[in-house]
Amino acid sequence: MIKILNSLNENEIFQRSTATEDVSDKVRDIIENVRVNGDSALREYSKKFDGVELNSFEIEHSLLKSAYDCCDAEFKQVLEEAAANVREYHKEQVSSGYEIKRDNGVIVGRKVLPLERVALYVPGGTAAYPSSVLMNCIPASIAGVKEIIMTTPPAKDGTVRDDILAAAYIAGVDRIFCIGGAQAVAALAYGTETVPKVDKIVGPGNAFVAEAKRQVYGIVDIDMIAGPSEILVVADKYAVPACVAADMLSQAEHDKNATAVLITDSAELAEATANEIEKQLELLPREEIARASIDNNGKIIVVDNIAQAIEVSNRLAPEHLELCVENAMDLLDSVKNAGSVFLGYNCPEAVGDYFSGTNHVLPTSGTARFASALSVDDFIKTMEYTYYSKEAIIKDADKIALFANHEGLTAHGKSATIRKEF
């Protein structure tokens, strides 16, 4: 059963769940094998880990449209509406460059350029996520990325679920490869005979995928190292215990290392929510996973007031933060660290996972202190430029040389002053 804490014990409150298995050596071996042996290594791992032998890793693009056409009409409509919401939200993130022209003939500026080719990793395993296709692909498309690649683990029969393919069609994925795990990350980072090398890899995955992304960073860019899912609910005495419990379980069902936390100023709500969690757990198809998460990592913290709850939340910097309180919008400015904030009694974090348009690829493990949700900005780079006229370099050459000489870099200074002679 979930723990109820009545004191702000640092060790109990701020301890986070971490995966215990160290997979770094295994991942290193996989990456090196794929780097050296390319497609043959990928075939080896497909057989070993996925139980399939594939003649071709790439899915024919025509199958995306076929999957979309065959998709359940109601689900197709929901996918389309969700995609429209994601596009509407992310279009506001588009940034532009600028240029400054000075009177002395100097021009300085900044260009915003889309990445050429990016890859989206879409998990398989215990759950497959068409929502992740939308969340990763649409911002890349809006940024102007030239080619969007997707990899996802194959099912036992070597196929990919139709709802994943339908989401890829709606979102605008260019190419899909049936590859999962650390081997997919390696293939995307280094390229193989059939899998193209990309500039950036985004999307969540298991511990092997996360570690592979960590190890190839620098060869390619990545979005973040995602840890276990987290939800923190701040609730007052007017919150409905059944709703709070349901919201906490929405993250607990992700995996056994997920964390669900409630902070409340009401001892009655704490007790009622704990009881509701037990009731609802018994009804979940993924009860075993959710129960392990709740028993090992879940906690309910009783504080003196909601201001103190926000204080604790800011220190925890959760992935998802729900403010199930009166006048929730008034508290938004008090929140300093959170991946995504859900306001009011009627806003479960699932609306952000699927439908509101905000991105669900979020910083975990307290990294919301310095990291942000996936956005259009993740799929661009910026390039600076400078132009100097003859008049301008003559005017500034001695100042540049003075600065350079103070650093002991006289050749830097000479490169400026020599132009006064010609």
Q: In sequence order, what are the beta bridge partners of 320?
A: 231, 340
224 with 371: CB under 8 angstroms?
yes
Token digits for 137?
Answer: 């692909």
Strands 98-101 and 107-114: antiparallel
Q: What is the DSSP letter of 21?
A: -
Q: Which residue is listed with tokens 């260009």? A: 111
Q: In sequence order, what are the beta bridge partners of 162?
A: none
- Can you spell out the DSSP letters for 159-187? ---HHHHHHHHHHT--EEE---HHHHHHH
Just list the catalytic residues.
319-320
C-alpha 267/C-alpha 301 separation (Å) is 9
C-alpha 27/C-alpha 236 separation (Å) is 45
Question: Which uninterrupted H or E stretch holds 367?
Answer: none
Q: What is the CA radius of gyration of the chain?
A: 25
C-alpha 397/C-alpha 84 separation (Å) is 53
Pinpoint the alpha helices (H) of 38-129: 39-45, 62-70, 73-91
